[in-house]
Chain A
Amino acid sequence: VTKRVVITGVGIISSLGESLPEVLHHMTEGLSAFKEVANENDNLLCRYTGCYESFDVTPYMGKKGIRQLNRCTRMLLAATGLALKDGLCSINAENQEDVGVILATNFGVEANLRDMERIIFTEGADSLSPLTSFYSSINAVASQVSIRMKAKAFNITVPAGFTSGIDSILLAKNLISSGGSRRVLVGGAEEIPMGLLKEYDRNGILAQCPSEMLPFSLRSKGIILGDGAMVLLLEDLECALARGANIYAEVDEGFIAFSPERFGEGSEVFVRNDLENFLVKNLRGAGMVDLIMSSANGSQLDGIEKNIYRELFSQGTLITAIKNQFGEGFSFTNLLQVGLGASALKVHEFPGILTLNQLQGEVVELSNRNNEQLAGVQTVLVNSVGLDGTYGSVVLKRFSN
């Protein structure tokens, strides 16, 4: 018997709110994170993102020592503080060597890298600033958590693509299960700079406005980008019980895999079979899943997910997509799926849910469900199917001792 791992704290920084209740409230009201980009001179076809450009870290950290930190780091540090506060957990001299950090991020230093590349090509390497040289490595973002919060068991950055959030959750679970640490702060954080938005825009995979980003819909024109930070406190169950922690959910099994072919070239059958085999092995089949947190983002991959869900799950299975309110935030939204799934198991609240048999028409309407309908949810399946070929799932269960 390996150690059981539970989620005991949730911290979120997004343009749709800076706490779980606030985010859920805004989601229920049908608000979205999307705003028009401020700069009008970039000839963008898509002028909307769910990025949190205006985030102010000073209420969380004051003004001292933040000048060199990029927006991704600031959001991550704030979200980490919120997760620890929500988990009623403090890191101190006694427990700091038991607390690890794992961060999923793909674009955490993108803005810095672009700036460094610009300086090298326009001014020469001698003009680089030594004060921000640490941002030449993507682990610099997560390192700030350990430096400032004194979490010293380990510090790992997972820039593994679309599924890096689930990847990180599973790595944390395994390291706790094997006794490598008692608690792990698992984060997903991204910062989308204007240059990257322009590249996505030119490559033609963005919808031109939020109303054209329609998860699971044949009428969807593409994705909208977003960013933010999500942090979960994962903990060894015995440790959590001993300190009377508030337990959101138990992290059960999961898997990650890779498609060497591009999606659309025959790999769908592997995605389907891997998910089915995983469900049979760990849950005795798809029938045990009550709620699916899909990764649908309005792209062509939604069709793959939709077909797999139709084949594997019963018509009454609840299903949701969150990216029509946050945008595609890569590891941020990947972790957000996990966090909101855990929240659904604890507070019985989740906006924008439909049943699988509603995934039929060209347009899919997500509708709010009340607490009573979610009260019966015992098992949540969080999925990720990425444009880069990565895919995976993790199962969350209602905690029962």
Chain B
Amino acid sequence: VGDLSGRTLWGEELPMKKRIVITGMGVVSPIGNGVDRFWKGLTEGKYGIDEVPCLDEKIFSKRLYGFIQNFDFKDFSEFKGIIGRASAFGIEATREALSQAKLLEADKTTLNKVGVIIGSLAGENGLREQAWIKYGWNSDIRRPFNFSTMPLISHNIARWFGLRGPNSTISTACSSSAYAIASACEMIRNDYAPIMVVGGVESLTLVGQGNFIRINALDSEKIRPFDRKRQGTLLGEGAGIMVIESLESAISRGVSILAEVKGIGLSCDGHHESAPDPSGRQIINATQRALSNASLSIEAIDCISVHGTGTVYNDRLETEIIKTVFGEKARDISITANKSMLGHGVGAACAMAIVAAALMMENGLVVPTINFENWDPECDLDYTVNTPHKRELRNVMVDSYAFGGNNATVIISRLNE
């Protein structure tokens, strides 16, 4: 993504581009559904992870997961089509975001132009597993779908709200929603749609939990990013959805502007299927590209919502990279790892972190990294441990990395910045 100030990454001149702003947000999460409950949970340091009864202990040796317990699925019983847990989360979060953006009751002419892009690792793959459970493995009974379950979330959101604009699904594993936002911004800037519903959605899949167990990526006790005794991550589910549009569109519609998507930087390690490049070079590139894209210096960043998965190696590498990019300034930046409360929301993680970032800016409060008990000498930044920290925030950087080395950094800013 090029430089909004008018230059590409290679210094070539580009015309000024549209500024993109967030005008609606919605969340479904293990610590609370709806933005208000989500924010309350974040500020209280609520822990959303527990043993999940539906994970059969005969099949799964580790059953800790950020499972969404209190969600009413009965609203979706009359949906004409195939709908699963992930779509239901996506629709509920979209409803809240559209309402805040004053689009829920909009006329059809407006809704016909609204597009949807959802980032997700597994899409509605949970439906596949439910079908096997219902019909039996390798049964000759016809499953109720024969097309890919990956794009079903974005399709179902569009079907539910009658959105006819561009519809897409992006999957870059754990950074999927960051790439979805990058794609949605391009859609708006290139006049494919004036308004986009964008975000990330993930729900429990047995294949996902099973594979994370097999690669020894899960902590057996709790998720504790940057703690010296951290052993791994823990997965969770949820949805983070935003309504984004150009600044001109938001002003002309007279809606409240919650934050600006100031800059995005992308890169790929091209190194290994699951391990990050130990040099961190491409993560550094993504960070620097985001700063360049936002036309911001390192001095402007007040807070970093880190990827912070709780794995031994990744937390250490991320700390090193922040120190490399920000130098002495790194110690003055508030770091927060909300996966300590939510679990690793995989494809939804970045979108939920961006919603949290917008709320942190609005409230002047950095939410905590919980479960922190033991300092790690190799992780020596200000991680906002265990309790929230008051601070005026102008620009928050949200980092998102993934299997395959798909790195993305998104900078969210208060509009006057």
A31 to B171 Cα, complex, angstroms:
36
Stretch of A7-15, A152-160, A297-305, A371-379 with 4 or more beta carbons under 8 angstroms from chain B = A152-160
Q: Which residues of A contact B147 (CB under 8 A)?
A: 106, 161, 387-388
The CA-CA distance from A259 to B159 in the complex, in Å, is 8
In the complex, what residues of A have CB within 8 A of residue B73's CB? none
User: Of A76-84, A169-177, A308-316, A355-363, which binds chain B?
Assistant: A169-177
In chain A, positions 15-70 with a C-beta closer than 8 Å to chain B are none
Min CB distance, B129 to chain A, in Å?
6
Contact of B128 among A117, A136, A137, A171 (CB under 8 A): A117
Pair A101/B207 contact, Cβ less than 8 Å: no
Q: Which residues of B lie under 8 Å from residue A203 when comparing CB positions?
A: 142, 146
User: What total count of A-B pairs have CB within 8 Å?
Assistant: 255
Residue in chain A with minimal CB distance to B217? A133
Task: Determine if B214 is an interface residue (Cβ-Cβ < 8 Å).
Answer: yes
Interface extent on A, as a size class?
35 or more
Given A175-B186, A260-B162, A388-B151, A121 contacting B1 (CB threshold 8 A): no
Partner of A155, one of B151, B167, B172, B186: B172
Would A179 and B406 count as touching, CB distance under 8 A?
A: no
Chain A residues within an 8 Å CB radius of B164: 257-260, 270
Decide: B155 and A388 in contact? CB cutoff 8 A: yes
Chain B residue nearest to A190 in the complex (CB):
B148
Contact with B along A237-278 (1 / 0, CB 8 A): 000000000000000000111111000000000100000000
Given contacts A116-B207, A125-B59, A158-B169, contact A151 B273 (CB under 8 A): no
Q: Which residues of B contact A182 (CB under 8 A)?
A: 10
Residues B210 and A159 in contact, CB atoms below 8 Å apart: no
Q: Which 9 A-B pairs have the closest CB atoms?
A: A179-B2, A179-B8, A143-B404, A125-B210, A258-B167, A159-B150, A134-B273, A106-B148, A146-B270
State whether B116 touches A1 (Cβ < 8 A). Answer: no
Q: Which residues on the B side are within 8 Å of A175 (C-beta)?
A: 1, 186
Give the Cβ gap from B131 to chain A, nearest Cβ, in Å.
10
A136 with B267, Cβ < 8 A, contacts A155-B406, A258-B158 known: no
Interface residues of A in 131-155 (CB under 8 A from B): 133-134, 136-140, 142-144, 146-147, 149-155
Q: Is the CB of A96 within 8 A of B270?
A: yes
A180 to B263, CA, bound (A): 12
Report whether B172 and A157 are in contact in the complex, using a CB–CB cutoff of 8 Å.
yes
Q: Judge if A167 is at the interface, Cβ distance under 8 Å.
A: yes
Chain A nearest CB, measured from B73 CB (Å): 21
**Measured between C-beta atoms, what is the minimum distance from A77 to chain B in Å?**
13
